[in-house]
Amino acid sequence: MLMRLTKDSNGATAMQVKQQLVSPTALTATAWQQLLVKFNQSAATYQRNVCLHELFEAQVERTPNAPSLIFQEEILTYHEFHLRANQLAHRLRKLGVGPESLVGICMERSPEMVIAMYGILKAGGAYVPFDPSYPQERLDFMLADTQVAVLLTQERLKSHLSNFKSQTTICLDSEWDSIAQESTVKVESDVSEENLAYVIYTSGSTGQPKGVMIEHRGICNQLQWMQTTYPLTTEDAVLLRTPFSFDLSLYEFFSPLLAGARLVMAEPAREKDPQYLVNLIQREHITTLFLVPSMLQMLLEEDSFVTSQTLKHIFCSGEALPFALQQRFFARMPSHTRLHNLYGPTEASVECTHWDCERDTNRNFLPIGRPIANYQIHILDEQLQPVPIGTPGELHIGGIGLARGYWNRPELTAERFISIAECGSQIVESDSRLPTPDSRLYKTGDLARWHADGVLECLGRIDFQVKIRGHRIELGEIEAALLAHPGIRACVVTAREDVPGDKRLIAYLMPQQAELPLNGELRSHLQQKLPTYMMPAAFVPMTSLPLSPNGKIDRKQLPAPDEILLARETDFVAPANDTERKLTQIWAEALRLRAIGVTDNFFVLGGHSLLAVRLFAAVEKEFGQKLPLTTLLHAPTIRQLAAALAQPQSWSALVPLQPAGNRPPFFCVHAVGGNVLEYYELAQQMCPDQPFYGLQSVGLDGKQRPLRSIAEMAAQYLREIRQLQPQGPYYLGGRSFGGVVAYEMAQQLRAEGQAVALIALLDTDPIGWLKRFPRHVALPYQARFLALRIKRHLQNLRGLRLRDQWSYLRKKADYKKRKLATMRWQLAHLFHTRQENRLSETLREVEEFNYRAARYYVPATYPEPVTFIYAQEEISTTENIFGWQTLATGGVEVIAVPGNHQSMIKAPNVQLLAAQLKARLTQNQPKYQ
């Protein structure tokens, strides 16, 4: 049996535990009885011969109008979601998808991604996640390996998949209109519980990832066990944050939707931002979380997380839950929040054991618990015989949830999924007690032992697989990728945990020639092959690798990276000033590296979000300045961070959201909140050569006084704009309140004789237009529009069936309720920590100033045309169009776009808004070279 040095949660090494391994002993009949029968009494009868999507469809019948998916401002009811998934399923059927067909999904987290999964299952196929953040080479390999019949993606990711012309590729965002023509009736496919539901790729020790094939029966058993043991109801909400290429996400994607609960999706790329997650948890009243321990560790440091009133269950999985983290959890979290430790490999349909963590415990270790329903656990020695209680052995899994095997890898399947007959008759007999005997066992490679009370303790690995922040990594895969570089003769990669809770990958390398290739070169070589989480934090040059007496590499003798000089960085740039020097010190401590150059990239050096939190806390302590974590995205080097630290002095209302290109810029003014981050997506959707600038409220930095009137704002923004573009024609716009400011800017520009080519009013109310009329004229207008609004609601309701009417009203009420909840949270949050308090107060103050400015604004008429782009789901449109027509005497161009006041600038609606804006910008623009 291969052995390597890995630490368990209690600090013991697998090597030390191995020394306790006893040779097989003949167990007494009582011991057999205890191990195989008593400890494995897991048989449970759940609904059988059912598929994953059928469990969902049964739920749609029970709660058609309950909210199912929530993403930003968008809410889909069970019924709506079911219809959309049916439409996609019909399209897939036409393309030949059915039982055993693999359909790829390469998408960012979005409602379409969930619709894609359910649509594939409904069509009878199995989904294969292709994480768009993976390097091209890895995606290419997986696509070639699976030969998926159809690939579902999004327009912006299409370029990632350009090598795959042979597959049918469908962009669910841009092609949805056509899919929406398909029938909404439930699809009849002859898929059965023995067909594949999904194939998930995990790291492979021989250099390439391997696809694990899971059938419906395994995952259905798993989800039914979960629902029986920790039931969810319509009152519950589950947060979706786990990448879909990690099987823990199955719980997030499916457990709420099989039970009438809500599935609340974190925005893409924000799943590791603790502050964002905490806000979302509070806002959406999340009750259930699935986390890897390192994420729990980060969240526990957030004060507003530990005071959460709604959280009931936190399930940890993916790697060992350290005992100390459990203790920290109990010290910080209220007693109504329960912590659970789940254990299981992808090959066992997500999990196979569970444990409810105990607040008052005499145990000095954290168990992985007992087998879940219809699973059996056997701890076996090298001869595949059970070992006595307390004796370490390899954990083997049996039962209904075992994977069919590895896609296209029969030898590896045979090696890891062994026949139960090899293990002796007692085990065969215990397997036969399960409702669905499998007659195979999966060899996990985990070292574990039974305790006398029937709970299991996991002790580490017996092979070269490691877990880094929940990601499963075969060190052999990294080594194979390194050896593919012509400059490397030999190498060994280890995962070191020199500081508890911070495991890092270190590569020890012997060069082919006298010198190692440069760090930068090695990193870019690996970047083409491996996901970011597999990138070593440091490359250590070695003249030889230490060997043990039997000639194997002696990993214990490998030096710690801070005891030796790291590989040479020729692009090393030394700090040039005091700020850079102090930052270098902070980075070196956080990353535990020496010789960091000021132009080295934080992420390339092995930085991740947990380290970023530490780093920014240290920066705040040293410089007294709190920068948002997202600063690292655009300032990932010491030099750039130093510049960002220096920036607040030169604060500007003008924010370059997309500065590239030589067309005249589009200037988009903030809504009433003052912030322009909400325009980020819109800016990205415009032409790549269309500069897009946001204008944010003065005062957001907490230092300057916010501006009091719309005229004052317009004047200030024009001063800044004219430094960038001194002469017209100007292209202006803004959502909501921002449209009014843009309108006022156009007035001021016109007064100066400047040309304005576009005023794009994005669902902007013509604030103050009625003030232009005497009261006796304004009042009848107001009454008329109120009547119109009521009429519109009634009209909307009339067109709906009774249960949809209910849904409509609930949606409106829910929206209001959610808004109120957000406000309540914001209020509560104000009193939290002094720093957060300061930030919230600043935002509130800016918003208040903006509201006040709007209240006193009386618009003048404007003799040129304006463009009014309204959100289709809003109901005061008639009134707004009328208002703008009384103001813009040059004419009002009226355009409808999908969504509501907020969601119109969010995916997927934002694309159509961008298309409309692009058309206006190019139409009105002179020809540019």
CB of 345 to ligand AMP, least distance (A): 4
Q: What is the DSSP string of 762-821?
A: ES---TTGGGGS-HHHHHHHHHHHHHHHHHHHHHHHHTS-HHHHHHHHHHHHHHHHHHHH
In the complex, the smallest distance separating the C-beta of residue 316 from ligand AMP, rounded to whole angstroms, is 7
**Phi, psi at residue 124, to the nearest 5°?**
100, -5
526, 558 contact by CB (below 8 A): no
> What is the rounded CA–CA span in Å between residue 183 and residue 822?
38
- 394 part of the interface to ligand AMP, by CB under 6 A: no
Rank residues 274 and 344 by Cβ distance to ligand AMP and give the closer one.
344
By CB under 6 A, name the one of 70, 97, 280, 321 that touches ligand AMP: 321
458 binds ligand AMP, rule: CB under 6 A: yes
Nearer Cβ to ligand AMP, position 3 or 604?
3
Burial 747-761 (b: 16+ CB within 10 A, else e): bebeeeebebbbbbb
Q: Is 254 in the site for ligand AMP (CB under 6 A)?
A: no
Which residues are CB-neighbours of 8 under 8 A, at least 6 positions away? 14, 17, 320, 458, 459, 460
Q: Is 473 exposed, middle or buried (0-12, 13-18, 19+ CB in 10 A)?
A: buried
The rounded distance, in Å, linking the Cα atoms of 29 and 37 is 11
Cβ contacts of residue 460 below 8 Å, gap of 6+? 6, 7, 8, 12, 13, 14, 17, 446, 447
Q: Is 891 left (phi over 0), alpha (psi -120 to 50) or beta?
A: left
Q: Before 908, cis peptide (omega within 30)?
A: yes
Site for ligand AMP in 158-217 (CB under 6 A): 202
Asked if residue 444 binds ligand AMP (CB under 6 A), the reply is yes
CB of 400 to ligand AMP, least distance (A): 18
Least spacing, CB of residue 467 vs ligand AMP, in Å: 5
Between residue 474 and residue 503, which ones bind ligand AMP under the rule CB under 6 A? none
Nearest approach, Cβ of residue 757 and ligand AMP (Å): 54
Which lies closer to ligand AMP via its Cβ, residue 469 or residue 670? 469
Instruction: Kindly tell me which of 246 and 857 has the beta carbon lying closer to ligand AMP.
Output: 246
Closer to ligand AMP at the Cβ: 472 or 818?
472
Helices (H) and strands (E) in the chain — how many of each? 29, 33
Q: Is position 386 an interface residue for ligand AMP (rule: CB under 6 A)?
A: no
CA distances from 527 to 105, 484, 615 (A): 22, 13, 24
Kindly state the smallest distance separating residue 494's Cβ from ligand AMP, in Å.
16
Angle between helical axes of 802-830 and 274-283 (0-180°, round to 10): 130
Residue 347: half-sphere exposure toward Cβ, Cα within 13 Å: 23
Least distance in Å: CB of 250 to ligand AMP?
11
Helix (H), strand (E), coil (C) string for 606-666: CCCHHHHHHHHHHHHHHHCCCCCCCHHHHCCCHHHHHHHHHHHHHCCCEEEEECCCCCCCE
d(CA 737, CA 850): 8
Binding flag, residue 737, ligand AMP (CB under 6 A) = no
Q: Which of 46, 78, 315, 343 binds ligand AMP (CB under 6 A)?
A: 343
Binding region for ligand AMP (CB under 6 A) out of 62-70, 300-308, 342-350, 701-709: 342-350
Q: In terms of CB distance, is 73 or 446 closer to ligand AMP?
A: 446
Which of 446, 600, 765, 879 contacts ligand AMP by CB under 6 A? 446
Our CB check for ligand AMP shows the closer of 349 and 658 to be 349
Candidates 74, 80, 182, 319: give the one binding ligand AMP (CB under 6 A).
319
For ligand AMP, which is the closer residue by CB, 472 or 614? 472
* 534 binds ligand AMP, rule: CB under 6 A: no
Please say which residue, 392 or 665, places its beta carbon nearer to ligand AMP.
392
Residue 472 C-beta: closest distance to ligand AMP, Å:
3
Backbone angle region of 399, left / alpha / beta, with phi > 0 → left and psi within -120 to 50 → alpha: left
CB of 658 vs ligand AMP, minimal distance in Å: 37
Torsion angle defined by CA atoms of residues 579, 582, 588 and 589, in that order, rounded to the nearest 10 degrees: -140
- How far apart are alpha carbons 847 and 279 in whole angstroms? 19
With CB under 6 A as the contact rule, the residue among 218, 322, 345, 575 that binds ligand AMP is 345
CA atoms of 470 and 294, how far apart (whole Å): 7
368 binds ligand AMP (CB under 6 A): yes
Residue (246 or 508) nearer to ligand AMP, CB: 246
Nearer to ligand AMP, 319 or 600 (CB): 319
Residue 318 in contact with ligand AMP, rule: CB under 6 A: yes
Please report how close the Cβ of residue 348 comes to ligand AMP at its closest, in angstroms. Answer: 8
For residue 248, the minimal CB distance to ligand AMP (Å) is 7
Residue count at the site for ligand AMP (CB under 6 A)?
Answer: 19
Question: What is the SS3 assignment for 363?
Answer: coil
Task: Give the Cα separation of 130 and 881 in Å (integer).
Answer: 45
In the complex, the smallest distance separating the C-beta of residue 456 from ligand AMP, rounded to whole angstroms, is 10
CB of 369: closest distance to ligand AMP in angstroms?
9
Closest approach of Cβ 326 to ligand AMP, in Å?
Answer: 11
Sign of the Cα torsion 876, 881, 887, 888 reads positive
* Residues 834-863 interacting with ligand AMP (rule: CB under 6 A): none
Select 154 or 288, whichever has its Cβ closest to ligand AMP: 288
How far is residue 734 from each of residues 312, 667, 702, 740, 917, measured CA to CA in Å?
41, 8, 23, 8, 11
User: Using CB under 6 A, which of the segments 150-158, 337-345, 415-423, 571-579 binds ligand AMP?
Assistant: 337-345
Contact (Cβ atoms closer than 8 angstroms) between residue 223 and residue 193: no
Stretch touching ligand AMP by CB under 6 A, among 100-108, 236-244, 338-346, 574-582:
338-346
326 touches ligand AMP (CB under 6 A) = no
Question: Residue 502 or residue 847: which is nearer to ligand AMP going by CB?
Answer: 502
Strand partners, 727: none
- Residue 57 makes contact with ligand AMP by CB under 6 A: no
Most distant pair of Cα atoms in the chain: their distance: 101
**Least spacing, CB of residue 448 vs ligand AMP, in Å:** 9
Compute CA distances 854 → 739, 851, 876, whole Å.
11, 5, 18
Residue 768: which region, alpha, beta or left (left: phi > 0; alpha: psi -120 to 50)?
A: left
**Whether 900 contacts 73, CB under 8 Å:** yes
To ligand AMP, the closest distance from the beta carbon of 5 in angstroms equals 15
Give CA–CA dist 603/225, Å, rounded.
Answer: 39
Cα separation, 357 vs 326, in Å, equals 8
Q: How far apart are CA 83 and CA 397, in angstroms?
A: 38
Is residue 376 part of the contact set for ligand AMP (CB under 6 A)? no
Residue 344 Cβ, how far from ligand AMP at the closest point, in Å?
6
Query: Nearest approach, Cβ of 619 to ligand AMP (angstroms)?
Result: 33
x/- letters, 212..251, toward ligand AMP (CB under 6 A): -----------------------------------x----
SS3 of 161, please? helix
Q: Which of 341, 658, 807, 909 binds ligand AMP (CB under 6 A)?
A: 341
Q: Is 273 in the site for ligand AMP (CB under 6 A)?
A: no
Candidates 220-228, 312-320, 651-659, 871-879: pick the segment binding ligand AMP (CB under 6 A): 312-320
Is the Cβ of residue 152 or residue 320 nearer to ligand AMP in the bound state? 320
H/E stretch holding 474 reads strand 471-474
Catalog residues that contact ligand AMP under the rule CB under 6 A. 202, 247, 317-321, 341-343, 345-346, 368, 444, 446, 458, 461, 467, 472
